């Protein structure tokens, strides 16, 4: 759905106005770097993709320049404001580089959180185009080198803690949740539990990882350069992590193995690490898909179910299970 919303609605998020597009632009404006933000194009997500509740808008400023603003309040989803706070904290300490969008201003009243960023004139990658795949992979590798070791002040959750959450989801799953797992996977198998128990150590590291490198968080400019956006999921983890998250797009196919096998960050990393990675995230998503959707995110269970199935299929392929 598209519509028009005023700039000040998006920045101040008064009354959650951005969640309801209006047909005509409002006469109000917001001040962004000394320029009037007259109108904002507002987009809302649908389908089974995982979209965050809130406002995401491109602003056309009075001086002819553009900016991008996004905002969310706890009334839309209680967890999303913290994702925005993480993104603000990370972008505040990172240097300005071509493969990231710059942070211009922020707003946080304890409930609603908003940020204004540089606007990117770009499109999402086309995974059927090998050139787009290569462009994104190169950008991920360049950024990984830049962010190793993790910059001082970028306080994020450790990827190892995420892995512990995945294993806890399995350990605490109810019988009806376990029933959602594929027949070939025995959740009680000792070999599985031992493999997953090692995952937190394997996901430890000193690299600042984006941790959410997927199509709708990537933009390709007309000149072919790549921008990686949306840093709310950032984690500190191993150098190979962001390449693996990117390669999840092909998790169920041998292309996943090809990408990871060609990664300069996989030297000395045991092959079973990636299998455990696919099992951990796949089991977690599949089990979570049986639970009610989070507030404001009605398509989340379907997203988790589809992605969990793909990742487990990839683990099955790598394990050679018929």
Half-sphere exposure of 14 (CA within 13 A, CB side): 8
What is residue 8's predicted lDDT score, i.e. its pLDDT?
Answer: 41
What is residue 53's predicted lDDT score, i.e. its pLDDT?
Answer: 66
What is residue 182's predicted lDDT score, i.e. its pLDDT?
Answer: 97
What is residue 233's predicted lDDT score, i.e. its pLDDT?
Answer: 97
pTM: 0.85
Tokens of 214: 């997927």
Domains of the chain by start residue, with CATH: 2-118 (3.30.200.20), 130-319 (3.90.1200.10)
Mean pLDDT by 10 residues, the chain (322 residues): 33 33 30 37 36 80 92 92 96 96 96 96 97 98 98 92 96 97 96 95 98 97 98 98 98 98 96 97 98 92 98 97 89
What is residue 55's predicted lDDT score, i.e. its pLDDT?
Answer: 87
Strand 113-118 to strand 218-220: parallel, antiparallel, or no bridges (unpaired)? unpaired
How big is the CA angle at 205 (ends 200 and 207), to the nearest 5 degrees? 135
Across-strand partners of 68? 58, 117
Specify whether the CB–CB gap between 284 and 169 falls below 8 A.
yes
State the Cα–Cα distance between residues 2 and 223, nearest whole angstrom: 27
Half-sphere exposure of 215 (CA within 13 A, CB side): 13
Task: Report how far apart, in Å, the C-alpha atoms of 156 and of each of 89, 125, 284 are.
Answer: 9, 27, 21
Cis check: omega of the bond before 252, within 30 degrees of 0: no
- Give the residue among 28, 14, 21 at the shortest CA–CA distance from 75: 14
Q: What is the dihedral angle through the alpha carbons of 220, 226, 230, 232, rounded to the nearest 10 degrees? A: 160
Name the 3-class secondary structure at 33: coil
State the Cα–Cα distance between residues 210 and 320, nearest whole angstrom: 30
What is residue 52's predicted lDDT score, i.e. its pLDDT?
Answer: 56
What is residue 239's predicted lDDT score, i.e. its pLDDT?
Answer: 98
Residue 215 DSSP label: G
């Amino acid at each position: 759905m598209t519509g028009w919303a005023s700039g000040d609605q998006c920045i101040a998020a008064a009354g959650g106005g951005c969640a309801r597009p209006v047909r005509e632009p409002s006469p109000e404006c917001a001040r962004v770097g000394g320029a009037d933000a007259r109108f904002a194009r507002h987009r809302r997500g649908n389908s089974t993709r995982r979209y965050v509740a809130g406002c995401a808008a491109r602003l056309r400023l009075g001086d002819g320049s553009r900016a991008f603003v996004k905002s969310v309040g706890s009334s839309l989803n209680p967890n999303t404001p913290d994702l925005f706070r993480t993104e603000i904290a990370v972008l505040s300490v990172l240097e300005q580089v071509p493969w990231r969008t710059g942070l211009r201003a922020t707003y946080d009243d304890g409930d609603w959180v908003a940020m204004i960023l540089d606007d990117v004139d770009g499109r999402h990658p086309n995974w059927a185009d090998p050139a787009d795949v290569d462009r994104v992979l190169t950008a991920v590798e360049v950024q990984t080198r830049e962010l190793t070791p993790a910059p001082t002040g970028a306080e994020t959750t450790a990827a190892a803690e995420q892995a512990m959450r995945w294993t806890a989801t399995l350990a605490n799953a109810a019988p009806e949740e376990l029933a959602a797992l594929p027949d070939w996977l025995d959740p009680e198998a000792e070999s599985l539990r031992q493999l997953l128990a090692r995952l937190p150590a394997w996901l430890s590291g000193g690299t600042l990882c984006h941790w959410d490198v997927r199509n709708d968080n990537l933009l390709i400019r007309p000149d072919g350069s790549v921008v990686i956006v949306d840093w709310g999921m950032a984690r500190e983890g191993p150098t190979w992590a962001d390449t693996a998250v990117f390669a999840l797009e092909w998790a169920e196919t041998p292309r996943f193995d090809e990408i990871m096998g060609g990664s300069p960050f996989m030297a000395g990393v045991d092959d079973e690490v990636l299998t455990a990675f696919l099992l951990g995230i796949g089991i977690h998503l599949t089990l979570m898909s049986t639970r009610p959707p989070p507030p404001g995110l009605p398509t989340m269970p379907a997203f988790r179910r589809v992605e969990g199935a793909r990742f487990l299929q990839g683990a099955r392929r790598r394990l050679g299970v018929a």
